[in-house]
Amino acid sequence: MAFTPSSQKIEIQQLDPQQLKTWIKAQALDLGFSDCVIAKPDAQDQMPRFKEYLERGYHADMHYLEENLEKRADPTLLVPGTKSIICVRMNYLVASPKPRYVPFEPNSAIIARYARGRDYHKVMRGRLKTLANRIKEKVGDFESRPFADSAPIFEKSLAESAGMGWTGKHTLLIHKKSGSFFVLGELFTSLDLPFDQPATAHCGSCTACIDICPTQAIVEPYMLDARKCIAYLTIEYKGIIPEELRAGIGNRIFGCDDCQLICPWNGFAKTATISDFDPRHGLDNILLLDIWQWDEATFLANTEGSPIRRTGYQSFKRNIAIGLGNAPYSDKIIAKLQEAKTWHDEIVNVHIDWAIQQQMHQSNVHQIEK
């Protein structure tokens, strides 16, 4: 969708750009966004590193990342006429989390915190549209288009270029006063707004996120191999998860927060200001065996309007099977795994067989120790 000249162009030009920018930021905060910055529609500087990432094959089977490189580098090719990009973020923590290294219940099913409530993509786009409408009421008509992880955009880099934070060694954006537990969105606009300036980086010599990664997916600072990443494996990937990575996945059945939980800057993490991120269906405190017994109808009902829908029922059960294989030995776990084999596809059954073997191995170790 191209931007077209607005009939209200003269009216907009009469407004002081800096005052309009300040007013827009105030409106964004009023709508529940945690921060708002104005970015220049230019991400050319990201291309060398991104091309290296692709050449190494670290994007796994996410082949869509290989497409539209020109549009990623130049947002004005994605939406012609873009003059400024309003970048926003939303904090999604409901409560300050305990660090991952604190002992946890191994029979719990761990779901990434952003995914325990409503799908943030819908929340983000809806509020960006509301922000656009408020601006139109203020300045008259202009062209805008909202995005939330829904187009070939270097959204993290655009936000970083305008001072929303810096890219940490785990490749996520970190804000000095808010940590990294937030999601991003953008409103492409035809408005001439002053751009914000980038912030400085503050990771220093810290390598906590690299050291803690259960599958060593952060292969070097600022470079993540998705083929090893638990978030990719449990959400995007639909195949058989390599056996050598299953123990590292532990009881994480959708995503992984470990590299964020260990980050010292998340001692400053802020909680959400809207209720959309509140956990639903007990997903912040649910046992592996309880969620294992969800049939497909229950899965669809309990994940309506949730990011978890993205993984699909069979892949979700595949992930839970791995979690059950890694859980402490239990006769009940083995029985539930065995009786479920007829309900699932071949890929899930491969992981069920592995989980049963893991449980039996733990049983043998338990008997020896007795």
Q: What's the pLDDT at 5?
A: 44
Q: Where are the alpha helices (DSSP H) in the chain?
A: 9-13, 17-30, 47-55, 69-73, 75-78, 120-139, 155-161, 208-212, 230-231, 243-249, 258-261, 288-292, 296-302, 313-326, 331-339, 346-369
Residue numbering of the annotated binding site for tRNA: 238
Other CB atoms within a 10 A radius of the CB of residue 51 amount to 12
Closest by CA to 90, choosing from 210, 209, 212, 175, is 175
Q: Mind listing the pLDDT tens digit for each residue in 266-303?
A: 999 999 999 999 999 999 999 999 999 999 999 999 99
Cα–Cα distances in angstroms (integers) from residue 23 to residues 28, 114, 139, 165, 254, in the given order: 9, 29, 11, 21, 38
Of 149, 192, 196, 211, the active-site residue reads: 149
Both tokens assigned to 249: 């996945």
Binding-site residue positions: 72, 149, 167, 173, 184, 203, 206, 209, 213, 229, 238, 256-257, 259, 263
Amino acid type, 49 = R
According to DSSP, residue 179 is labeled B
Rounded CA separation 69/121 (Å):
23
| Nearest-angstrom CA–CA distance, 323 and 194 | 49
Residues 341, 346, 348, CA angle at the centre, nearest 5°? 65
CA distance 275 to 291: 24
Give the annotated binding-site residues for [4Fe-4S] cluster. 203, 206, 209, 213, 229, 256, 259, 263
Domains and CATH numbers, the chain: 12-94+113-189 (3.40.109), 207-267+278-369 (no CATH)
The strand pairing partners of 287, in sequence order, are 108
pLDDT at residue 365, as a whole number: 65
Residue 214's CB is within 10 A of a number of other CB atoms, namely: 18
HEC per residue, 209-277: HHHHCCCCCEEECCEECHHHCHHHHHHHCCCCCCHHHHHHHCCEEECCCHHHHCCHHHHHCCECCCHHH
Tokens of 258: 């470990």
| Spatial contact of 27 and 21, defined as CB atoms under 8 Å apart | no
Per residue in 124-178, pLDDT (tens digit) is 999 999 999 999 999 999 999 999 998 999 999 999 999 999 999 999 999 999 9
**Cα 71 from Cα 214, distance rounded (Å):** 34
Give the N- to C-terminal CA distance of the chain in Å, as an integer: 69
Judge whether 149 counts as a catalytic residue: yes
Q: pLDDT averaged over consecutive 10-residue blocks of the chain (370 residues)?
A: 45 78 97 97 96 98 96 97 98 82 72 95 94 97 95 96 98 96 98 96 97 97 98 98 97 96 95 94 94 96 94 97 96 93 89 96 68
Task: Name residue 225's amino acid.
Answer: D
